[in-house]
Structure 1
């Protein structure tokens, strides 16, 4: 098994996403890897309304995304991660996560399972399913909601 050097985890500030951050932080601590906590945001309501999928929290503006990253960093430190970076990017959660993974040449992407088993997720796709299909690195989908 290869070791992970760079792990990206997505957060939207929700309790579910913070559970994914904690899991990713434990893995990062175990591998002495860099944990990159990532968040997407929409620049305005018009951009947010263009998405058909509503399985993730709609984050408007960079300020809210930065607050979510700060909460994620606290959770990651509490779970044992020591090498932590933060990255925020405008766009849909899938676009932002894929951009951040590629930008950092990540070995592992960790996301929560919210939306994967919903009717909308089954019909239109979900963030976890879409990133799993698109990612060139390993993807871990953490069971964060029933």
Structure 2
């Protein structure tokens, strides 16, 4: 199963950002990898705020058992700075709060979370409060495509880090269609010999995005690929785009365009 060499958490001290600190810290501690903690402020005279925010986050990360924390406090546009980080660290897992993803006004003006969903080279995990007290299920959404297979692979590593049960999930017009997609996914990734119990769920619904959004409450995290998250397909409303902006649980958006 794939893993991440480091975790980056962006924080501004908000509730959702604190959720990102907790989730990112748990993953970094479990994987035994460094965590980059980044606070960005737009006012050059507001560095005291950044110190306060990162100091509080560092205390949380220490309690979670993160061994190496690299704190960065920089001024500038938060979205620009975090996107630049992903360009330099494409293999990292970026964890941020989900504020702005489900608000139309924020999407129009370009919130940090929204900008990352369309421009991050790295995988992005959008965290929400309340942070689960126990991580039971991670949904690995698949339609059998090559891009969804990449998302499933990385999602399996995340499920392992959180101690959660992975569940392959597909939405299809019929149960038989869904069964074929799940069987093809298992065969393509050789999952039956992975040594991990992987559950399955078929959502009988021709509208894949709405089906996953409606059933998202059952999972602590939903994992999807970022296919068609940019360009004309995004404007026309891709499945990934609809799920990203409609889901109300933690979401791992996997960048399937990089190796």
Between 75-84 and 28-37, report the one with greater CA deviation: 75-84
Choose from 108, 115, 122 the match for 1:137: 122
User: Which SS does the other structure have where 2:57 is aligned?
Assistant: helix
User: Which SS does the other structure have where 2:38 is aligned?
Assistant: strand
Report matched runs for 1:1-146 at 5 Å: 1-44=1-44, 61-103=46-88, 107-144=92-129
Greater length-normalized contact order (CA 8 Å, ≥ 6 residues apart): 1
Deviation of 1:105 after TM superposition, in Å, equals 5.6
Between 94-103 and 69-78, report the one with greater CA deviation: 94-103
Give the Cα separation in 1 of the matches to 2:65 and 2:22.
9
Moved over 6 A (4+): none
User: CA separation of 1:37/1:130 partners in 2, compared to 1, >3 Å: closer, same or farther?
Assistant: same
Q: How many equivalent pairs are there?
A: 131
Give the Cα separation in 1 of the matches to 2:89 and 2:123.
14
Q: Which protein has the larger Cα radius of gyration, Structure 1 or Structure 2? A: 2
Under a length normalisation based on structure 1, what TM-score does the superposition of the two structures give? Answer: 0.79
Cross-structure match for 1:55: none
Deviation of 1:116 after TM superposition, in Å, equals 1.2
Indicate if the aligned counterparts of 1:37 and 1:87 stay in contact, CA closer than 8 A.
yes
User: CA separation of 1:137/1:105 partners in 2, compared to 1, >3 Å: closer, same or farther?
Assistant: closer
Deviation of 1:104 after TM superposition, in Å, equals 5.2
Give the Cα separation in 2 of the matches to 1:66 and 1:104.
24
Deviation of 1:102 after TM superposition, in Å, equals 3.9
Give the Cα separation in 2 of the matches to 1:99 and 1:62.
20
Give the Cα separation in 1 of the matches to 2:58 and 2:89.
18
- Provide the aligned C-alpha RMSD in A: 2.0
Under a length normalisation based on structure 2, what TM-score does the superposition of the two structures give? Answer: 0.46
Please give the per-residue CA displacement for 1:33-85, whole angstroms capped at 9, x wherever unaligned: 101111101135xxxxxxxxxxxxxxx52221121111111111122212111
